[in-house]
Amino acid sequence: MKVFEEDVRISGAGHEIRAKVLTPDGGGNRPALLLYSDIFQLTESTLRTCRRLAAAGFIVCVPEIYPRGELAGVALEFDDAGKQAGLAGAASMTTAEFDEDRVSTLDYLAAREDVTTLHVGGWCLGGHLAFRAAFDERVASTVCFYPTGLHNGSLGADTADSLSRAADVRGDLMIIFGSRDPHVPAGARAQIISALYEAGLEDLELHVYAGGEHAFMRDVGPRYDPALTDLGLAEAVSFLGGRSLR
């Protein structure tokens, strides 16, 4: 299926949020997927994955995660300088600002006449942001790919209360980890899973992909695993597309 792309500006609280919206060919009303990138923002690597998800039938909206300051509108390179800039961008944002931008983006999607239901996904830091988006009662289902910082509250300038608010998750939830992810090692995964169960989220879906490294879905660099990427996307499409609503 062909996919159409457009640049949009979403009104935030005193600023604009740049985003790409990818729409499947054929028109009609469709579910919307708010998709959060990793710290490098709207790279071509991220957009290639967004196109695959849009081709599966979703209206995909991928916003920049640093709409304030010097990184607004910047797609970072996958090198040490880009990594340090991305980490600095995260450190410049408070949890409240991340939440504020999420509400603005969901408001934008909810107001579109061609959107039926709201869903969320994300990778790495974006996986953590996706988890927080699941607190919004409008979100029907959420997929978090190797979310970082859930176990210790590491997100931005302050300590996020994400895991302690797990009971606030309103829709269906799936989390995909890589077994060789140093940012979410086995102990951190156990901590996350225990907290989710203790919060009453016993019907969530969990996957640990054997051999998966951090950022195994980023199709640039030595950690990329095409087979696990295909598996993760297939699981996500099935889950977000209705299997979670069984």
- Note the pLDDT of residue 243: 60
pLDDT in tens, 12-34: 989 999 999 999 998 899 999 99
pLDDT band, residue 93 (cuts 50/70/90): very high
Mean pLDDT, to the nearest integer, of 204-215?
Answer: 97
Residue type, 93: M
3-state class (DSSP) for residue 163? helix
Q: State the chain's mean pLDDT as an integer.
A: 96
Which tokens belong to 39?
């710290």
pLDDT band, residue 205 (cuts 50/70/90): very high
Which tokens belong to 184?
């979410």
pLDDT band, residue 241 (cuts 50/70/90): confident
Q: Residue by residue, what is the 3-state secondary structure of 78-133?
A: CCHHHHHHHHHHHHCCCHHHHHHHHHHHHHHHHHCCCEEEEEEEEECHHHHHHHHH
Q: How many CB atoms are located within 10 Å of the residue 43 CB? A: 17
Superfamily for the 3-245 domain: Alpha/Beta hydrolase fold, catalytic domain (3.40.50.1820)
Per-residue exposure over 207-242, b if at least 16 CB sit within 10 Å of its own CB, e if not: bebeebbbbbbbeeeeeebeebbebbbebbbebbbe
pLDDT in tens, 34-63: 999 999 999 999 999 999 999 999 999 999
Mean pLDDT, to the nearest integer, of 169-193?
Answer: 97
Rounded Cα distance between 189 and 114, Å, is: 37
**What are the backbone angles phi and psi of residue 242, rounded to the nearest 5°?**
140, -20
* Residue from 31, 64, 30, 32 nearest 47 by CA: 64
Residue carrying structure tokens 């961008």: 89
Which tokens belong to 129?
């942001």
Predicted model pTM: 0.96
Q: Where are the beta strands (DSSP E) in 88-189?
A: 115-123, 139-145, 172-180
Judged against a pLDDT cut of 90, whether residue 110 lies above it is answered with yes
pLDDT band, residue 245 (cuts 50/70/90): very low
Rounded Cα distance between 30 and 65, Å, is: 24
The Cβ-side half-sphere exposure at 236, using a 13 Å CA radius, reads: 31
Q: Which residues pair with 173 in a beta bridge?
A: 142
